Amino acid sequence: MSGLTVISASDIAEHATRDLAFSAVEKALIAITKPDSLLFPVTIGRGLPDESMVAIKSGMSAPEGVVGLKVGTYWPNNRHLGLANHGSTTLLLDPGTGMPTALFNAVALNGLRTAAANAVASNALARPDVEVLLVVGAGHQARCEIAALCDIRPISQVMIWSRNPNHAAELADELSTSASIQAFAQFSTQFSTQFSAVSDLEVAAGEADIITTVTPSTQALIQSAWVRPGTHISAMGADKKGKQELDPRLVEGGKLFADHPPQSVEIGEFQSAAQQELIREQDITAIGRVLTGVCQGRARESDITIFDSSGIALQDIAVAQAILEKIRREGGGLKVSF
């Protein structure tokens, strides 16, 4: 009989930090570029409601000594029941025996690791002098992205656009009247970040130094002609076939990076441009190779750099492992026989 540690949402809230996520995700992005780390095919299914979705991502990393999987769910009517539409559960396995060792309520963890990946990539690829951020989307993940980017770069202005203008206005107002972002931002003593909702996406895209797209869109939202030279774009909404946030011509003209290039052309943001034969997988650099200095990131100030964050299992299990180790040191979690 083995022992299983069950880690609840309250455990995550108590022990998870962005610094922990930054470190774990950076290690995962580097690990996936090594031959002794593997990702396995993503399985996407559904439940009883027609628009529900179940996505299973799994992987292993020998250098980090982690094996596990994440189950992501989308049940569109959950909000009417007082539940989150998006769910996330991570399971770690003992790398020596395959027995389950830890089960995580990973809803908050998923948002943390996704934002950490985009922040780490943006830090590596964006120009040193960036200050203006445009976030396309105003849901829960947008909050995570803003917090992470404000923590890792001195962002002085955040513009928020949503297809529902009320959502953008509500988020901008929430952030403007709360200390939640500033309290965690290491640059808050130097910069007073201003938050605003914007209605004209074209104008906002032309003013931004960094654009982060955080939507479930199935058609291009950001057009090639809108984006000025030197902009960095992180796109994280595309995680299955048919999703798209960027104009394929924008992708064609950009300098391309991804958490995992083979996945980015299959289910990520670069799938549309690849299908139109505007780019090839070989045109995409794994961000882990930039983080280790093996490959170059931004070459010129005028480069439009684009990072596709379709999400890989190694990020999930690396962050989960880091949380588990912290909980074992500090106490927490529910230990059960299994």
Q: Active site residue: 27, 70, 243, 255, which one?
A: 70
Query: What is the residue extent of each domain of the chain?
Result: 3-109+314-337, 118-310
Measured between alpha carbons, how far is 58 from 228 in angstroms, rounded to an integer?
37
d(CA 276, CA 294): 29
Q: Which of 57, 33, 99 is nearest to 293 (CA)?
A: 33
CA distance 309 to 307: 6
Q: Where are the beta strands (DSSP E) in 188-231?
A: 194-197, 210-213, 218-222
Model confidence at 184, pLDDT cuts 50, 70, 90, reads very low
280 near 273, Cβ under 8 Å?
Answer: no
Tokens 């780390």 belong to 37
Q: What are phi and psi of 105, to 5 degrees?
A: -75, 105
**What's the number of CA atoms in the CB half-sphere (13 Å) around residue 19?**
5
221: left (phi over 0), alpha (psi -120 to 50) or beta: alpha
Cα distances (Å, whole numbers) of residue 245 to 86, 163, 165, 207, 332? 20, 13, 18, 18, 40
Query: Hey, do 3-109+314-337 and 118-310 end up sharing a CATH topology, with the first three levels equal?
Result: no
**What class is the 118-310 domain?**
alpha beta
State the distance between the two ends of the chain, measured CA to CA, in whole angstroms. 6
- Which sign does the torsion angle of CA 331, 321, 118, 110 carry? negative
Domain 3-109+314-337 superfamily per CATH: ornithine cyclodeaminase, domain 1 (3.30.1780.10)
Query: pLDDT of 186-215, one tens digit each?
Result: 444 445 789 999 999 999 999 999 999 999
> Quick one: average pLDDT of 292-299?
96
Write out pLDDT tens, residues 14-42: 999 989 999 999 999 999 999 999 999 98
Is 255 an annotated catalytic residue?
Answer: no
Question: Is the pLDDT assigned to residue 172 strictly greater than 90?
Answer: yes
Question: What pLDDT is recorded for position 183?
Answer: 47
Q: How far, in whole angstroms, is CA 247 from its chain's centroid?
A: 20
